[in-house]
Structure 1
């Protein structure tokens, strides 16, 4: 990382953002007609596609059936072309399994699982282009896909990363900032209640800095919520208008 200034004397990051600013977010719902719900999200140069199927009858062994709630199945994968390094990325590798488990736990906390006993919901997310904040972009895309599928949730789920650069907390970190080796924090919340449904930290962070890095991450989630909510409302308006015309 020699020669690359992550935070200038004027307080600007390498991509021109202030410490508290998110990367530009673009999102769209209903991108696949074949799925019950789908969404596409761009956070900076990180691009994610999410699809949702269900609720439907539980597949596989009868032992998987949950009699009091829905079974949530999540699968995370990265496209071969998602990074500059072209290589095969099997769905069953350790990293993908870890991300899949985290996604399942996150959405178990948000979806009203008791409404669909003895059934299954499948959530598939794929990284089309990776530039940092992969898990966060997946959560945000999956949230919109679940909404598009009409599956009731307690609240949106919004995720955001944060870090510390030269004692300054920064939000929504890019791959360049991730690669610098500083502490990385990922938080997913239900924004209206501010309930934390996932918290991860990849390295040690001094207790004096923990609160400010967490706070900027939570604020980032709230800012993302505003973008996702606007996109969902615009999609509903668009669908309603199409139905009215037909």
Structure 2
């Protein structure tokens, strides 16, 4: 796709969005009943399912238990049909291991881990369809699943990405933009305090552009928070209405 124009003269991206506009997000909690908590989210064409189990006793070796906090066990994977490429190893490849570690770091900073010493919380995330922003969609789905499971957290964790096209910062980049942009900034924050719990910069960015791209990524996280918060409130209202019947 040599010569492809990622940003039109009118300032619109390939999918018609403005630079500061998120992809459409739809989500729901309690996607299936087998888990203690679950959620499904669509961010554009990226679709993710998350499930949470626990807190429960440590599985496997008891030496894994932490005497002062809960063990946050994460597993990130991609369905074999999630991309145009056929994946022989949807779990256990380098990228999945890296994403699993990133998720673990993010939620260890967000969960009130001291409330459940010597126990374990499992967070499983499956990318059903991939079109960019897999980490962000996975974090957003997992935080909804944790809320559905009743796990106390410091705040709703929200994640978004940002990049730079023609010296113009853009937010919530899709696969095409990930492929053609020179840099990707990925953020996860706790919105109430705007504390950054995860930050990764893929690629090189000039110091003159870095503040604007990071600032737009932060705004993207806050915009995501508004959507997730609304979904949680609707879920609680629906649950209360069902209990009242």
Q: What CA distance in whole angstroms lies between the structure 1 residues aligned with 2:35 and 2:87?
A: 28
Residue 94 of structure 1 corresponds to which residue in structure 2?
A: 94
TM-score, normalised with respect to structure 1: 0.98
Residue 113 of structure 2 corresponds to which residue in structure 1?
A: 113
Can you give the 5+ residue segments of structure 2 that lack an aligned partner in the other structure? Answer: none
Residue 148 of structure 1 corresponds to which residue in structure 2?
A: 148
Report matched runs for 1:16-27 at 5 Å: 16-27=16-27
Cα displacement (A) at 1:32: 1.0
Cα displacement (A) at 1:87: 2.6
Residue 45 of structure 2 corresponds to which residue in structure 1?
A: 45
Cα displacement (A) at 1:204: 1.1
**Do 2:69 and 2:113's aligned partners in 1 also have CA atoms closer than 8 Å?**
yes
Cα displacement (A) at 1:2: 1.7
TM-score, normalised with respect to structure 2: 0.99
**Do 1:76 and 1:97's aligned partners in 2 also have CA atoms closer than 8 Å?**
yes
Does residue 209 (structure 1) correspond to residue 209 (structure 2)? The answer is yes
Cα displacement (A) at 1:163: 0.2
Does residue 163 (structure 1) correspond to residue 163 (structure 2)? The answer is yes
**Do 2:45 and 2:131's aligned partners in 1 also have CA atoms closer than 8 Å?**
yes
Residue 58 of structure 1 corresponds to which residue in structure 2?
A: 58
1:11-62 Cα offsets, whole Å, 9 max, x none, are: 0000000000000000000011010000000000000000000000011111
Q: What CA distance in whole angstroms lies between the structure 2 residues aligned with 1:129 and 1:239?
A: 29
Can you give the 5+ residue segments of structure 1 that lack an aligned partner in the other structure? Answer: none
Q: What CA distance in whole angstroms lies between the structure 1 residues aligned with 2:69 and 2:242?
A: 34
Q: What CA distance in whole angstroms lies between the structure 2 residues aligned with 1:148 and 1:175?
A: 29
Cα displacement (A) at 1:4: 2.1
Aligned length: 245
Q: What CA distance in whole angstroms lies between the structure 2 residues aligned with 1:204 and 1:99?
A: 20
Q: What CA distance in whole angstroms lies between the structure 1 residues aligned with 2:118 and 2:65?
A: 5
Q: What CA distance in whole angstroms lies between the structure 2 residues aligned with 1:34 and 1:118?
A: 24
Q: What CA distance in whole angstroms lies between the structure 2 residues aligned with 1:173 and 1:218?
A: 14
Cα displacement (A) at 1:65: 0.3
Q: What CA distance in whole angstroms lies between the structure 1 residues aligned with 2:144 and 2:168?
A: 31
RMSD of aligned alpha carbons: 0.7
**Do 1:77 and 1:89's aligned partners in 2 also have CA atoms closer than 8 Å?**
no
Residue 126 of structure 1 corresponds to which residue in structure 2?
A: 126
Cα displacement (A) at 1:210: 0.6
Aligned residue for 2:209, secondary structure, equals: helix
Cα displacement (A) at 1:3: 3.9
**Do 2:38 and 2:50's aligned partners in 1 also have CA atoms closer than 8 Å?**
yes
Q: What CA distance in whole angstroms lies between the structure 1 residues aligned with 2:83 and 2:91?
A: 16
Cα displacement (A) at 1:85: 1.6
Q: What CA distance in whole angstroms lies between the structure 2 residues aligned with 1:149 and 1:117?
A: 18
